[in-house]
Structure formats: structure tokens, C-alpha cells
Structure 1
Amino acid sequence: MRTSYQYRLKPTKEQIKIIDNTLDMLRYQYNYLLGQRFEWFEQNRCSIDRCSLVVCHIPELKDKPNRFSQQATLTQLKKDRTWYKGIHSQVLQEVPKKVEIAFDRWLKGDNTGKRSGKPRFKAKGQYKTFTYPQFKREHFQNDKITLSKIGIVKVIVHRQIPDGFDIKTVSVTKKADGYYVTLSLDDKTVPTVKPDFKPENIAGIDVGLIDFYVTSENERISAPKFLRKAERKLKSAQRKVSRRKKGSNRRKKAIKSLAKQHKKVADTRKDFHFKTANHLLKKYDVIAVEKLNIKGLAKTRLAKSINDAGWGQFISILTVKAENAGLKVVAINPNATSLECSSCGQKVKKPLSQRMHNCPSCLTSLCRDLNAAINIKNRGAHDLKAQIMSSMRSL
């Protein structure tokens, strides 16, 4: 099982200078290697490599740059540009890996076949993370961490690493309010289902914009709307950035202040998601949620409110925490959960503005979101039963 712990770093002024310089040099190298990929793509995007006309000249196809061929050039890079010797070799080798991932996701897509946009060159300040792919546990002791080529850096350890976890990788990140280190931890043990797991202790939750969620037991939490509440401060900070002269120190300070405001909103939202997930998992063994197309919904006129709610992040946190606790989250088909009557199953069409579900067939009258939550619970219970039966047959 993999998990990540993030701690705040307290580097000295000299260490800050080294970290910033490392990020800037890695950015130059990232842009150079990405440029090599684009050059190859433009020259070799057509598969035809010969022509029947004698007078027509087509240059030879070049070999496609890959992660390993680009890593092989780093030795010569350190000879030509000696200042790159100040970066740990494995940290530098991670740059071609990042370039390959970004380039392949654009051309081929990820494991599910979804393609990303065309990779962009990194402007100053946009390359914010570097990674040590190997790390020894003894280099992280008490409140200090030893980072190669940087030195011993103080860490604010707000929680201890659990016993039995190995540190696999270490990433240093520059954020708006300082520097952070992220430890990727690996536990050899596989999470098992809770011994007193009760499949019948199930709840369905319907996420929304008025109430963040409504459960099938009619428990609801109002949407906190962190971005909406912070809009005045964000507008004020953005106005200061717009009024400052480009390239001036005052503009840099204004940009940093704006970034801090945005980070505060994101951190507050994430903290709310974690606490909400913990609350639900303490009450229920199984939670049924809708498999929503959040990216599609975020392109509608409700985009700001949907992004402010952060449903995707919440469901992701809920799923991971459930797995770690030996509990279960069941994703169900969201089709017509709001239209179907939870009592008789008849579809009752209604506009989004109508917040009550009134069934003309069985005369059921209840909150629209509660009706959807009950339908989600019923579908989740059905899908869970099918999964259990399937696993029993395989045994």
C-alpha cells in the first residue's frame, strides 16, 4: 500500500538559495528536452520516408528521443555546464522521465486512453518540484532530513511515520507559503476488510451545491462555499497584482500574496473533505456514491460552484480512507437517480429548480436530494451484493 506524508521544511537562507537554483536549472533542462521532442515530432510526424521522384529530397527519419537516450546525454551536460554538478544525479535523471510522461500522454494518452493537452514550456517559477527516487530511512531522523547536495534541513513533523512503512521517494516542493517535503511511503501489508464489516450498514450520499451531501438517512451538511466566501479578498489581491508594474518587486510581492490566498482556500476545502470523510466512515461500513462526470459538469454555467465544492477530491479521499480502514465505497450509475421514485420506481420529470419530489403514482412526497440518496443506496446495495456473489463463485 502506498501513501504520502507531507511536512513543512524550514531551510536556511543558503538552503533556500540552493533549492531555488536547483529548480531553475531543472526547468531549463526540462524545456530543452521537451524542445527536442517537439523538433523530432515536427520532422517525423509523417510516416512516408521516400519519394518516387528523383528530384524530391526527403531527409532521413531521426530516432525518436526517449527517456533513456535523453538520460544518457546528462553526463556530457555536466561536462559542458559544470554548474549542473551541484544537482544530485538521480534528481536530474527524473527530468527526462517527466518529459516522457507529459509527451506520451499528449500523443498516446494514459492507461485509460485519455489524452492530455500539448505539454508547455515552463516559465520562470513554474517548475516547482524535484524528486529523489531513492531514499534511506536513516536520513530522516527526529525533526531533520538530509537531502543530497542541499544538506540537513529542519522539518516540522506534525505526525510520526507509522511503523512498518518504508520511505520510497522524497519530493521537495516550493509553494506560495514556503517549502514542503513529501514522503512516499510503502507498506508491505495489504489492507484487509474490517473483521466486523457489515454490508447491510450502508448509506447512499447525494452530493449537491446547496447541501454538500444528503445521506439516505436524511443527514445533510450545507455546502461550505469556501471560494465564494473568499472572493472579496481574492479580488482585492488580484486588483493589486493588476495595478503593479510588470517585473517590479512590488508586483512579485502582490503575486505571492494572491497565491497565498488561493492556497488557503484550497487547504481549507481539503481539510473539510477529510473531516467529512472521517465522519461518514465512522457511521457506515459501506457508502454508495454516484459515478459523476465532473469534468463535463464543470463546463456548464455552474462551473464555479462545482469546482468550489470539489466533489472529485472528496470522493477520491473518501475512497482511499475507506480502503485503508477496511471499509468500502461503491460507485453506481447516476442515471435518473433524481427522477426515479424511491418508493415505486416511477420516473417523475422535474426541473432542477423544483426541490421536492412528488410522485403522482404512490403519492410519495419528500426532498429531491433525499429521494436521490435513497435510490443511490438501493443501487449500491444491489451492486455490492453482486460483487460479493461474484467473489464467492471465484473461490
Structure 2
Amino acid sequence: MRLAYQFKLRLTKSQTSEMERWLEMLRHQYNYLLADRFAWHEQNRCSINSCPLVCHLPELRDNPDYYSQKRTLPQLKKDRAWYKAIHANVLQDCVKRVDLAFKRFLKGDSNGKRSGRPRFKSKERFRSLTFSAFSKSPINGNRLNLPKFGWVKMIYHRPIPTGFKIKTATVTRKADGYYVTLSIQDDTVPNVMAIEEVKNPVGIDMGLKSFLIKSDGSEVPIPQYYRKAQKRLKKIQKAVSRSKKGSNNRKKAVSKLGKAHKKVADTRKDFHFKTVKKLLDTHDLVAHEKLNIKGLAKTRLAKSVLDAGWGQFLSILSTKAENAGLIAKVVNPRNTSQNCSNCGQKVPKKLKDRIHSCPHCGYKADRDVNAARNILKLAVGHPVCSKAYRVTEPLGGVGKKPILNL
């Protein structure tokens, strides 16, 4: 099991300048390796699908893959002695980033989805480096020992659990300073609760009027942190736009704008963590829809959807439930808002219709509460569609009896 703990670093002026120097050297190396990949790609591909019988074929060079580029690092340290100050694993991680970006460009990710052409990194876009080799006890009090960099102070607000081993440490430059993200591993696997043992399940329906609505009718109000901070952000953005490019005033305004945006993001993330904790403290199973967040972010509701941060919230919910041995189940969102949660009949509604009123059974409830109940039924294995019910007449009887087809 892998977890990530983030701490803010308290670097001295000399450590800050040294970290900046490391990032700048790694940025140059990243751009050089990426240019080498592009050169191979342009020289070894043909833009036409046929050629004459007699033609000159240029000598093809080997593909610069991860291992061949990693073998160039010892020669790099001989030619440019200042690279000896950087730990070997940090340089190897730089090669790994180039390899991953180029593979996603040519072949795509695990789902076959290809990324765009990788860009060369400017000074503002290369902001992190990763250490992957540590001593037996890299943390001493509130100090962390980074290989070949030395001891650095950090705000150690929560201790690493006993039995966990630090695998990697990623130092990231953000608007208000440097942060370190420790990736820790524990070999013990928590026992996940069986669905038959669940005592207090709940279904949640994500929304924009309320952040989420439970199947029991309670709701969590939506905070809208970005919309509340828009006036302040607009004022700072004006100062950035009016200042001269390259001036110190512009740098100060950009730094102030970055801190303001980071404050909004941190406040939203804190709200997500607290909401997840309340859910998992009172419920053993939390069911939610599989939302197409990227698709919704391209509609007129984009600002509200991104301000709610559904993707981050559901990711935190899944991780925390797994670590606690609880269940966070994803269900198909098809017709969860249209079907009646009481009788299973389909009741067509438009988005403006906020009350679910079933003409078949007379059940009346809030539209989102009805959807949350359908989500919960799908999670625990009950059908929500009227097609799952078959009404037949018993032999020798007069009445009708619903028979469940699973």
C-alpha cells in the first residue's frame, strides 16, 4: 500500500539557491534528451508511403530509449563536472520523465490515448525533482536528509506511521515556497470489508446546487471557493496585466496571484478531506456515480464543475476507503435520475425539474435524493429499472405478483 505525505520545507537562502541550481541543470538536461528524441523521430521516419526501385536509404540510428539515454549520464558528469553535485537517482528520474512523455506521444497511455507533442520546459514549467535512495533513518525530528543535498528543515505536522518505508521524495517549487511529498509504503494489506458485512451503506449524488446529497435526504452545501475569491483574483490579475513584462513589479504580482490561487486550491482540498472523513466515519459503504467530469468541464457549467472539484474528492474518497478497509463503490449513472427509486418505473425529467413525482406509485421526493437512492440500490445489487420486474398472474389465482428477474 502506497501513501503520500506532503510537508512544507524551510530552506535556508543557500539551500534555496542550490535547489534552484539543481532544477536549472535538470531542466537543461531534460530539454537536451527530449531534443535527441525528436531528432531521432524526424530522421528515421518517412513522410511518403512508396519510393522508386533505386533510392538512397540513409543509415538509421538506434532508438534513444530509456536505457541508452541513462547510459550517457556518466559521460555527462565527465564532460560537465558541475552535474556531479546532483545525485544519480535524481538524474535518472529526469531521463524517466522524458521517456514517459515521449512514449505517451507515440504510443499513448494504458488506455491507448495519445498525448500531444511534448514541450520543452521553460524555467517556470520545470518545478520538481525526485529522490529515490535514502538512508535507514532519513527523518530526525523535523529534519529530512536528502541524498547529496543534505539535511533540510520541514514542518513535520504529522509523523510517518511506524512500519512504513520511504520510497521516494519529490521536492516541488510552489507559489509560496518548497514542498516535499514523501511516498511511503506499507507491506501490510488492510482487510476490505465484505459487502455482506456492511451495516450502514449510503448513496451520494454529486451536484452543483449542493455539493452532495445522501440517500437518507441529508446534504452537504457547496462552498464555491473560487467564485467567492473571484473579485480578489480579478484585482490581482489586473495588476499583472498592467505591469511591464520582465519587471520586478510584474514578478511580485505574479507571485501574489499564484499564492491567491493556491489558497483557493488548498481550502477546497481541506474541505474534500473533511467531507470524506465524515462520510467514512458514519458509513461502511459509499456509492457514487462514474461521472464524466472532462465532458462536463467542456459545457456551460465548466466553472461550477471545476470549482466543486469532483474528481479530487472522489479520488480522495477511494483512497481513504481502501486504507480504512471500507468500500467506495462506483456505479453506472445511466437513468439514475430518471427511474423511480420506489417502483423502478422511468419518469422522464428535464434538468430544470427538481422534484421527482412518480405517476405510477405516487412517490414524491427531491430529484437528487431519488438519484442517490437509485445509486445505493445499484451498489448493493438491487435493480433500479422497471425491466427487472415481470408482472405475471399466478396459476389458479386472480391477483398479480411481481417476480424479480436478476
Asked if 1:257 is matched to 2:233, the reply is no
Deviations 1:170-215 (A, max 9, x none): 1111111111111110101011135998324211000000100000
Percent identity over the alignment is 56
| Alignment partners' CA distance in 2, 1:179 and 1:137 | 24
In the alignment, which residue of structure 2 is the partner of 1:295?
294
SS of aligned partner of 2:208: coil
CA-CA distance at 1:118 after TM superposition: 2.1
In the alignment, which residue of structure 2 is the partner of 1:217?
216
Matches within 5 A, 1:93-108: 93-108=92-107
TM-score, with normalisation over the residues of structure 2?
0.90
Deviations 1:67-118 (A, max 9, x none): 1111111222222222212211211111110011111112212223232222
In the alignment, which residue of structure 2 is the partner of 1:387?
none
Asked if 1:116 is matched to 2:115, the reply is yes
| Alignment partners' CA distance in 1, 2:195 and 2:367 | 33
Whether contact under 8 Å (1:288, 1:330) holds in the other structure is yes
Deviation larger for 148-157 or 214-223: 148-157
In the alignment, which residue of structure 2 is the partner of 1:310?
309
Q: Give the unaligned 5+ runs of structure 2.
A: 384-406
In the alignment, which residue of structure 2 is the partner of 1:376?
375
In the alignment, which residue of structure 1 is the partner of 2:227?
228
Whether contact under 8 Å (1:136, 1:167) holds in the other structure is no
| Alignment partners' CA distance in 2, 1:303 and 1:208 | 13
| Alignment partners' CA distance in 2, 1:233 and 1:167 | 40
Whether contact under 8 Å (1:194, 1:325) holds in the other structure is no
Asked if 1:181 is matched to 2:180, the reply is yes
| Alignment partners' CA distance in 1, 2:122 and 2:195 | 53
Matches within 5 A, 1:150-229: 150-193=149-192, 198-229=197-228
In the alignment, which residue of structure 1 is the partner of 2:37?
37
Asked if 1:329 is matched to 2:320, the reply is no
In the alignment, which residue of structure 2 is the partner of 1:80?
79
CA-CA distance at 1:346 after TM superposition: 1.6
Aligned alpha-carbon RMSD (Å): 1.9
| Alignment partners' CA distance in 2, 1:198 and 1:315 | 23
In the alignment, which residue of structure 2 is the partner of 1:341?
340
| Alignment partners' CA distance in 2, 1:105 and 1:297 | 24
Whether contact under 8 Å (2:134, 2:146) holds in the other structure is no
Whether contact under 8 Å (1:197, 1:285) holds in the other structure is no
Across the two proteins, how many residue pairs are aligned to each other? Answer: 383
SS of aligned partner of 2:105: helix
Whether contact under 8 Å (1:10, 1:155) holds in the other structure is yes
CA-CA distance at 1:45 after TM superposition: 3.1
| Alignment partners' CA distance in 1, 2:358 and 2:60 | 67
Whether contact under 8 Å (1:107, 1:115) holds in the other structure is yes
In the alignment, which residue of structure 1 is the partner of 2:141?
142
TM-score, with normalisation over the residues of structure 1?
0.93
In the alignment, which residue of structure 2 is the partner of 1:360?
359
Question: Higher relative CO (CA 8 A, sep ≥ 6), structure 1 or 2?
Answer: 1
AA of the residue aligned to 2:363: T
Whether contact under 8 Å (1:137, 1:166) holds in the other structure is no
| Alignment partners' CA distance in 1, 2:25 and 2:99 | 18
SS of aligned partner of 2:359: coil
SS of aligned partner of 1:8: strand
SS of aligned partner of 1:110: coil
SS of aligned partner of 2:272: helix
Structure with larger Rg: 2
| Alignment partners' CA distance in 1, 2:47 and 2:71 | 27
Whether contact under 8 Å (1:144, 1:152) holds in the other structure is yes
| Alignment partners' CA distance in 1, 2:195 and 2:71 | 54
Change (3 A) 1:142 1:256: same
In the alignment, which residue of structure 2 is the partner of 1:389?
none
Deviation larger for 97-106 or 110-119: 110-119
CA-CA distance at 1:297 after TM superposition: 1.2
